[in-house]
Amino acid sequence: MKILITGGAGFIGSNLTRRLLKEKHVVTVIDDLSTGSMENIKDFKENKHFHFELGSILDIDILEKVIKPVDLVFHLAAAVGVEYIINNPLKSIEINVQGTENVLKLSHKYKKKVILASTSEVYGKNGNDTLSENDDRILGSTTISRWSYSNTKALDEFLALAYYHEKKLPVVIFRLFNTTGPGQVGDYGMVVPRFVKQALLEKPLTVYGSGDQTRCFTHIYDVINALLPLMTNEKCLGEIFNIGNPQEVSINALAEAVMRKADSSSQIIRHSYDEVMGKNFEDMKRRVPNIDKIKKFTGWSPTLSLDNIIDDVIKYNKETLRF
Ligand SMILES: NC(=O)c1ccc[n+]([C@@H]2O[C@H](COP(=O)([O-])OP(=O)(O)OC[C@H]3O[C@@H](n4cnc5c(N)ncnc54)[C@H](O)[C@@H]3O)[C@@H](O)[C@H]2O)c1
């Protein structure tokens, strides 16, 4: 297939590109390099089945040029990461709403299937034992800019579903829970690469809040394996899928595991949310995916554990000295 990946120079997009090229697809990436990098896609530059377009999904002309010739669009370009969203509130809303609208509008014009990246942030503060696709969204006040990410991505989902139902545009939506692994950078609030970098540099590991909050992490390789069947499985059209690993860990336990595995003698220091994120910040205690639906539709389930993730991120950072 000829596939367009918006945001393909980012962490997930570049891993997806690698895999799709390996599977003999022709891949075009459009990316404005705001949080992605040429470094992520340098391995493919010589591949004749790979094309890179430097540009923004806010630019209709460029977007039209790259959507027109492909068969399918993976829409991953977005303002991402809690810290990034808080620091760039206006830009984030514009990219995540207007950008997605552009992608859907043009995909409809040229009749292209769209596979849309959403996020577990849409569940907000819902702390259910496990979160299923139809569960309620529980959000805080609009004065807390963190929740704008949740809302922009939820609006993307509404838009995509509206295009599916009203215009018969073939769409599939996936909600990623924390995805991490080799190649991710810690600059925008991603905790695993940040802890690994701090541990390897023998600097204090900075835990935000009490550290009792729990999270679930999915290895990027598992995520890519989950995305492939969504391209071709007709039953998935018009559906939303959680993609995540239900293995739950507290941030304190994560910090300790990283230090142990990195053989680091760093300390853990705690910062209040106020110090790091400013006054108007709210966090959720836990967020655990229910992945029964994707398992049922595609047979996918994660195969790599948190230990695998930490080992791989440490190995990657040692090899590339990318910190
Ligand atoms: N990594 C995670 O844990 C996670 C969790 C939930 C959802 N997601 C979703 O997955 C997708 C990819 O995230 P990622 O982790 O790879 O982040 P990333 O920041 O590495 O990738 C996003 C890419 O989009 C590009 N981009 C941003 N604005 C753009 C614009 N206007 N035009 C063109 N390109 C633009 C960036 O330069 C970057 O390369 C996003 O849609 C994100 O919301 C990721």
Q: Which atom of ligand 1 is nearest to the CA of 35?
A: 37
Confirm whether 319 is domain-assigned: no
Residues 242, 290: contact at Cβ < 8 Å? Answer: yes
d(CA 45, CA 68): 22
Alpha helix (H) residue ranges in 135-286: 146-167, 191-200, 220-232, 251-261, 273-277
Confirm whether 92 is domain-assigned: yes
Q: For residue 78, what are the domain limits? A: 2-180+218-245+286-303
User: Is residue 12 lining ligand 1, measured as CB closer than 6 Å?
Assistant: yes
Which pLDDT score, from 0 to 100, does residue 56 have? 98
User: Is residue 33 lining ligand 1, measured as CB closer than 6 Å?
Assistant: yes
Place of tokens 């090229």: 21
Ligand 1 centroid–CA 181 distance in Å is 15
User: Is residue 266 lining ligand 1, measured as CB closer than 6 Å?
Assistant: no
Question: What CATH number does the domain containing 51 carry?
Answer: 3.40.50.720
Ligand 1 centroid–CA 77 distance in Å is 5
User: Is residue 157 lining ligand 1, measured as CB closer than 6 Å?
Assistant: no
The closest of 148, 144, 150, 90 to 119, measured between CA atoms, is 150
Confirm whether 203 is domain-assigned: no
DSSP result, 93-124: HIIIIIIHHHHHHHHHHTT-EEEEEEEGGGGB
Confirm whether 123 is domain-assigned: yes
User: How many domains does the structure of the chain reveal?
Assistant: 1
User: Is residue 284 lining ligand 1, measured as CB closer than 6 Å?
Assistant: no
**Catalytic residue list:** 149
Which pLDDT score, from 0 to 100, does residue 321 have? 65
Confirm whether 260 is domain-assigned: no
**Max Cα–Cα distance, the chain, nearest Å:** 58
Q: State yes or no: pLDDT of 187 exceeds 80.
A: no
DSSP result, 13-42: HHHHHHHHHHTT-EEEEEE--SS--HHHHG
Confirm whether 10 is domain-assigned: yes
Q: Which atom of ligand 1 is nearest to the CA of 30?
A: 33
CB atoms closer than 10 angstroms to residue 252: 17
Read off the DSSP letter of residue 172: E
Beta bridge mates, 3: 27, 72
Q: Pick the more confident residue, 245 or 283.
A: 245
Q: What is the pLDDT of residues 255-282, one digit of tens each?
A: 999 999 999 999 999 999 888 888 778 8
Ligand 1 centroid–CA 249 distance in Å is 24
Q: Which atom of ligand 1 is nearest to the CA of 13?
A: 16
CB atoms closer than 10 angstroms to residue 247: 16
CA 213 to chain centre: 20
Q: What is the pLDDT of residues 121-180, one digit of tens each?
A: 999 999 999 999 999 999 999 999 889 999 999 999 999 999 999 999 999 999 999 999
Q: What is the pLDDT of residues 283-322, one digit of tens each?
A: 889 999 999 999 999 999 999 999 999 999 999 999 886 5
Which residue from 12, 14, 87, 178 has its CB within 8 A of the most atoms of ligand 1, so it is best to mutate? 12
User: Is residue 10 lining ligand 1, measured as CB closer than 6 Å?
Assistant: yes
d(CA 121, CA 101): 19
Q: Which atom of ligand 1 is nearest to the CA of 9?
A: 39
Contacts of 31 (CB under 8 A, 6+ apart): 6, 7, 8, 9, 10, 13, 52, 53, 54, 55, 77
Which pLDDT score, from 0 to 100, does residue 225 have? 98
Confirm whether 101 is domain-assigned: yes
Q: What are phi and psi of 214, to 5 degrees?
A: -110, 155
- 275: tokens are 């110090």
Confirm whether 210 is domain-assigned: no
Q: What is the pLDDT of residues 86-122, one digit of tens each?
A: 889 999 999 999 999 999 999 999 999 999 999 999 9
Ligand 1 centroid–CA 13 distance in Å is 8
Q: State yes or no: pLDDT of 72 exceeds 70.
A: yes
Ligand 1 centroid–CA 97 distance in Å is 13
Which residue from 80, 96, 104, 114 has its CB within 8 A of the most atoms of ligand 1, so it is best to mutate? 80
Amino acid in position 321: L
